[in-house]
């Protein structure tokens, strides 16, 4: 069986950015050592050279992943992440009708960090579209959802998913922090079987050229198809 080819969104002498499909691991862990399709290994084979992971996306999330073509390049951008000089923008389909704009400021814990108290976390969002489906999925006669742009100002574990769920707008398809009744409704009615979260854009100051680097990833076909099926219900 042939390996999948990752769409290259950007490449220069120092970095490469690809579009990760939903369901793919970014890197292999001890727990998941049997997994076959792993982004770092696939890209290494595809480019025929080593690649160095800079940041991660959750397995069910699709979109932009930036990697270094040397350990030095990866370290340079990792420092920008630590200094919060990298801007990330996500697209999410969420339950209910969201406000035009909003900001969630709620500290979050991380299972990957030993800490005594939650760390500060901020997510800003804006609403792009609202939908109302004339079918009951819970206790209301219609079912509402919104397409939002979310910008995490910090990088905590499952930050966007946890923040949106915390304001009663969980991401559709989220089996960890979402609404199981809504997930079942969208799976049955619109055949949505994935987390409706996509890393759409990543921008930073290129550490070698000092130019602004902005990488965008179009919606993956499965998410694009799901949103197209909702368009007749757009308000």
> Residues 99, 100, 106, 109: is their CA dihedral positive or negative?
positive
- Quickly list DSSP for 182-217: HHHHHHHHH---S--EEEEEEEEE-TTT--EEEEE-
Residue 34 tokens, joined: 């049997």
The C-alpha angle with vertex 211 and arms to 47 and 67, in degrees rounded to 5, equals 25
* SS3 of residue 76 by DSSP: helix
**Residue 225 annotated as catalytic:** no
Annotated catalytic residue within 37, 58, 138, 224: 58
* Contact call for residues 53 and 26 (beta carbons, < 8 A): yes
Question: What is the chain's percent helix, strand, coil content, to nearest 5?
Answer: 25, 30, 45
Q: How many CB atoms lie within 10 A of CB 63?
A: 28
Pairing of strands 143-152, 122-133: antiparallel
Active site residues: 58
């Amino acid at each position: 069986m042939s390996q999948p080819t990752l769409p290259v969104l950007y490449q220069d002498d120092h970095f490469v950015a690809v579009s990760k499909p939903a369901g793919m691991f970014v890197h292999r862990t001890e727990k998941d050592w049997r997994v076959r399709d792993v982004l770092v290994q696939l890209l290494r084979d595809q480019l025929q050279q080593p690649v160095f992971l800079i940041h991660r996306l959750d397995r069910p999330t699709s979109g932009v992943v930036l990697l270094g073509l040397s350990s030095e390049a990866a370290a340079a951008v990792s420092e920008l992440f630590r200094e919060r000089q990298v801007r990330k923008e996500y697209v999410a389909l969420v339950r209910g009708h969201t406000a035009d704009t909003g900001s969630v400021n709620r500290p979050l814990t991380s299972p990957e960090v030993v800490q005594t108290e939650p760390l500060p976390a901020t997510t800003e969002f804006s609403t792009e579209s609202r939908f109302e489906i004339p079918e009951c999925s819970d206790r209301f006669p219609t079912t509402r959802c919104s397409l939002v742009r979310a910008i995490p100002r910090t990088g905590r574990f499952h930050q966007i998913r946890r923040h949106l769920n915390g304001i009663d707008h969980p991401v559709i398809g989220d089996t960890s922090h979402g609404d199981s009744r809504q997930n079942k409704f969208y799976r049955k009615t619109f055949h949505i079987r994935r987390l409706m979260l996509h890393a759409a854009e990543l921008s930073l100051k290129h550490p070698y050229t000092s130019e602004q680097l902005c990488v965008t990833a179009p919606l993956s076909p499965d998410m694009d198809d799901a949103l197209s099926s909702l368009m007749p219900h757009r308000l």
